[in-house]
Chain A
């Protein structure tokens, strides 16, 4: 809190000079590079990291055990049943895919829109995207009865002369998600190249030099390199942009193409995309706030970043709320028995508490973001983002399970009860995700060094030297400001 207070004070003093900066005062090229690279290149590993990584790794082991048992025994170890054919598996899939949306949005769309504040969060948001997509991908791959035959979903030449069914939204999913995963990985990796070169140059040990050297693909930082690099990066940003919209649109088709009341809705694509961005930003905050605190990155991930993300969440949250309202409206307006019952069952049926918890988490609590004080408070933002993470999971539960468990013929209605393996699989993927996150922050620069360098006043000074002479010449080069960590 004390840090926050201090920051607020600093920003207030900067307010006189235009919008608050996206980087703390007093930074130079050298200090930025030093600060970010040192997290990766320092000798020895911090105890806190070890503990966090250890716990996450245990979670990942739990997931691996579950998967092994699952493949040997069959997905009957989960709680899915004849009526509720999809449950935790697809809930988790959609949840993780949703989380995976913030990265690309921040990297690509905000880049194209020249939102310079994205710079300090894009790298780890992209990493988060990638890891979330990896977690998401596990579920459709493993939720099938015979996972060893999953490759049949790909259109490959085969002796059976069989194509997949191009009418099936699951088929579209395969393309959408695999494209998204590929493009996100490429985008992330390309963004890393200049920084990998920096690490190569700064590394002291031989092994690091070799590994970072190979990953840097011979980057020398020549003007030609930079020119081609910028073009490639922009092109990829252009390529990723439609993906932000398409992936969750297509994931929403899994439901809206179906005929089940509660699935069959035209509002799903926009409402799912907004939900995904909502979830993604919540997750960025959930991860970003502790990392910023732990590594003392307050200067790079400033309160302005947090505030902006809070505003995005508030906006997308309202879109999601509109989606819920429209579901209710159409249940009534369509005069369709099944739709009406679906909504009634959601709100008052046996899973009523899930629905109202969802409203609490996704609609009620985030309204606190209207209040400036809460947008400024890291603690409040963290708490609210956790609410949204939970709420978005509940939203998928409501859509998938409560729609299926009571659909058309009452004779088939039933309840869904998860088993212990549903939970070990879900929490296991969280462990897997965090394991990857911990590895990422340890071995790769979690904030883009070269892009941050463009943020320091030095850069501005050099590029605008003659355009704005009235800017004060800011601190002299050198004098890296080590964080207390």
Chain B
């Protein structure tokens, strides 16, 4: 209830007052009405302590909770309480109706690079993140990480107070001290000042830092970001002699070679690339051409899963493969390195195919690959005439591209020789993420004054005298460049919840401009840059989410003549390699305290709440003897010890089909010691093995089996399946087969759908709308964006590792992963699985209390209030998409988390069944709008949360009663089929079977009649 309503309901309040008897006093009108809001205000007097615990509340957690309560209860006296306005709007702002959401454009930066977003806010509370359709990097989609970041805003474990060695201090005190320290530096040209940031692609922040460096010429600025590698920067240096930014035009590429690059789901531009890739491979509306994708990689990534030909190869061997292909394609002279027979054949076919597609192919090197591989990719692209066609170079989007690892190494050397007097760390968590061999922490402690700005009081904050709570990007002004250079203004949508400061504001302090707000800083910067009427352009930029004409122009760079001479001779890297990769769910550890991200099943492995040492079946069985022959999955969870550079970690093994042999992939971002209640202490810390010399991968490590087991929580069990072929859950064909006979493989004769009449119960008539969904498996890249979107939209609870282990995760939408062919290099298929809204729904028949019913538009509706929880519906669901609240999973206690919830969706309590509703709240919203205008709902007007955020446009929703709707047209495609439709449930959600476009020279890969599930 808004306060406005409250006052309108004065009559009711009087009535309530009239009922009060005796010594009952009331403190405000709110209390009388006993609104949520009032309780909210009451709660906010105390910092929120309750969290989703990682494990059930035990004695330790209880003690932690109690001691934290005591400690923080004392602290509240020191902070100024946020102002509470109790007066309703006399004149409400334009376009604002209480209860209706508003969308604001902003941007989310990861590794400095922006992703354009729209933030949905209800009465000032941001609740959900969607992609910004007007933004070139997003085109309406948002990555899983960006969507998860809204939960970070409300994370009760975020740092809430400015502190000096554990004491709470006022901002003024900090100002005084830091000013004095900077002034002292000013006297010595900044000799003792170091500024450590993450990668900066923000023009405003870059200008601020550069102006500081101009003032203090001897100060140094170091950028370090553990989530990205130096390869792209140094590779460009090698090839062109300058830093460039590489943008791929996937939509122009007929043949793509990825060298260890997961370009569809990770790195700058991934959302855009996924969209272009899926368009290029969209075989609908009579179009029957698709591009061809070759991927060579160690760990099976979503990109590798989409490959027409994938070569599992150790990351350290990628360079040899790249050189071989370059030699064969004429981009490199000299002898091709010796490859294995398989790789040789693969390289030859790929090189030939690339050469056949001059100017229409692209070679993409992985973010974490060595500079040499990047240089070779540049050379290949140049030789093949792709530059300017499928590959475009621009000036770097970073403000100051550097060799980050070397810069960090230098900083540590300076710190050790006590040349550093003041270190200011803006964001990042270097104590946790710095390469282990640099001994960053030991060096850090030698600095007299250390300042850390960060969202959390984390591992680094612990060792810095000053800790400044950082404002979340949804709380502070800023700007950032996207993958193509377009600048977005990062627009806050809420006042800082905990008085956080942004990096811009801290920089302003260092520049002696402490009074300036974030808005002033960003505006002032752009005032000088924007031509024309500033106010108009600025307002438009805020509205559109991108400042016009800021995309960097393409520039022509030429390959250095002697680039190849910089290639070091190939060393034979023997033994087992380890590969470090940011975790797909928690990245370098910055999202590790978010329950959503921890519980998000990682692509391919489907692991939650942990990282594991990922390895191939062959390595687990033959090399490490972790499992008997033929049963590689028995290795899962067995502990191994990995030793590298004199450091050792223990990690549980996890077998991944298609992983390269003799290679172990370690995900970063886990094993944190000071991350918050959710993340502290889970997983192992792979940073402990990561050295400055080999930040991406290292060969020749020592792996021993240490014995013992660790329980990992995976949402999809692993085992071989007989008869998966027979089930025809995944229907697939090659493009050639499809061209010959479009329907045959998708409608095998023994899998016909039973006639409509073959049912005991009468059929429903749909006279108005009939909602349906089609999912194009050719497009889906398995990036998990839809899963997080569904999580945020539908108030889905986080259940914790123990519950996931007991197979009680609550995701309404999951991405099923199936493998086909040999376990060493299978073909991988993704199948988003959600409620199929069957027309003869088996769940509806068996519910004894009519809690799940069919509506007039074909939705299979779950009535939470009516559900008593017999679970019969879930048992009888052939797709197993129904989710049961076995315990009270939703957090009813943490006040800050309540702010995130979508007010249009019920928060389910214990004991009720729930499932995908086709986002019925969005359907109702569109219906109301259309009825107001006395018209039918237009095709495409309703966009479900999963559809909205899908970077690959794989999901289409609409009215199947309307023959002109997109969804109706797709349902007529020859590839359209219903999963399990042959059992007569008549699913409303159908799938377009996946096509692959294999190169006939390599043959169709792995067509063994053997399936397995992972």
Contacts and interface: CB of A to CB of B under 8 A. Distances in A.
B852 to A, nearest CB: 9
Contact of B868 (A74, A146, A169): A146
B981 to A, nearest CB: 12
Nearest to A83: B880
B329 interface: no
Interface stretch (A311-319, A409-417, A445-453): A409-417
A81 B875 contact: no
B911 A85 contact: no
Contact of A85 (B716, B724, B868, B884): B884
Contact of B911 (A84, A146, A257): A146
B280 interface: no
Majority-rule SS of A interface residues = loop
Contacts of A415: 717
Contacts of A372: none
Interface string B788-810: 00000000000000010011110
B847 interface: yes
Contacts of A254: 872
B651 to A, nearest CB: 24
Interface stretch (A24-32, A121-129, A158-166): A158-166
B809 A340 contact: no
A340 B911 contact: no
Interface stretch (A147-155, A280-288, A357-365): A147-155
Interface string B702-717: 0000000000000011
B163 to A, nearest CB: 39
Contact of B848 (A170, A258, A411): A170
B866 interface: yes
A145 interface: yes
A164 B849 contact: yes
B381 to A, nearest CB: 39
B983 interface: yes
A144 B874 CA distance: 13
Contact of A411 (B817, B868, B887): B817
Contact of A144 (B845, B850, B868): B868
B816 interface: yes
Contacts of A169: 846
Interface string A253-281: 01001111000000000000000000000
Nearest to B831: A411
A221 interface: no
Contacts of A140: 870
Contacts of A258: 842, 846, 872, 875-876
Contacts of A170: 846-848, 870, 872
Given A145-B884, A258-B842, A413 B1013 contact: yes
B940 interface: no
A79 B803 CA distance: 10
B850 A164 contact: yes
A341 interface: yes
Given A82-B874, A146-B912, A162-B866, A411 B806 contact: no
A274 B395 CA distance: 81
Interface string A130-154: 0000000000100111110110110
B871 interface: yes
Contacts of B846: 167-170, 257-258
A147 B761 CA distance: 30
Contacts of A411: 716, 814, 816-818, 831, 833, 1013
A409 B868 contact: no
Contacts of B887: 73-74, 76-77
A75 interface: yes
Contacts of B831: 411
A68 B981 CA distance: 43
Interface residues of A, number: 54
Nearest to A419: B806
A76 B887 CA distance: 5
| Residue among A153, A174, A413 with the highest chain B CB neighbour number at 10 A | A413
A113 to B, nearest CB: 36
A291 B719 CA distance: 50
A395 interface: no
B983 A153 contact: no
Given A164-B849, A409-B729, A74 B911 contact: yes
A422 interface: no
Contacts of B849: 152-153, 162, 164-165
Nearest to A174: B848
A259 B722 contact: no
B721 interface: yes
Interface string B865-885: 011111110111011101111
B850 A412 contact: no
Interface in B834-864: 842, 845-850
A135 to B, nearest CB: 19
A403 B317 CA distance: 46
Interface in A385-429: 404, 407-415, 417
A344 interface: yes
A407 B809 CA distance: 18
A82 B809 contact: yes
A415 B718 CA distance: 11
Given A85-B884, A407-B880, A145 B911 contact: yes
A171 B885 contact: no
A417 to B, nearest CB: 8
B98 interface: no
B888 interface: yes
Interface in B196-232: none
| Residue among A163, A169, A258 with the highest chain B CB neighbour number at 10 A | A258
| Residue among B866, B871, B913, B979 with the highest chain A CB neighbour number at 10 A | B871
B16 to A, nearest CB: 24
Contact of A259 (B869, B878, B913): B878
A140 B808 CA distance: 21
A407 B878 contact: yes
A165 B849 CA distance: 5
Interface in B895-933: 910-913
Contacts of B848: 153, 164-165, 168, 170-171, 174
B845 A167 contact: yes
A233 interface: no
Contacts of A83: 807, 880
A338 B724 CA distance: 10
B65 interface: no
B166 interface: no
Contacts of A82: 807-809, 874, 880, 882-884
A164 B845 CA distance: 11
Given A74-B910, A81-B808, A152-B868, A409 B878 contact: yes
| Residue among A77, A147, A167 with the highest chain B CB neighbour number at 10 A | A167
Contacts of A257: 845-846
A356 interface: no
Interface in A434-475: none
Interface string A71-101: 0011111011111111000000000000000
B534 interface: no
A153 B882 CA distance: 21
Given A144-B911, A145-B885, A409 B869 contact: no
B726 interface: yes
A10 interface: no
B727 interface: yes
B141 to A, nearest CB: 24
A409 B816 contact: yes
B565 to A, nearest CB: 51
A409 B876 contact: no
A386 B163 CA distance: 70
Given A82-B808, A417-B806, 16 more contacts: A80-B871, A81-B808, A81-B886, A86-B872, A140-B870, A145-B871, A145-B911, A145-B912, A163-B850, A165-B849, A168-B847, A170-B846, A259-B985, A260-B875, A408-B878, A408-B880
7 contacts: A82-B808, A145-B868, A145-B912, A167-B845, A170-B870, A260-B876, A407-B880
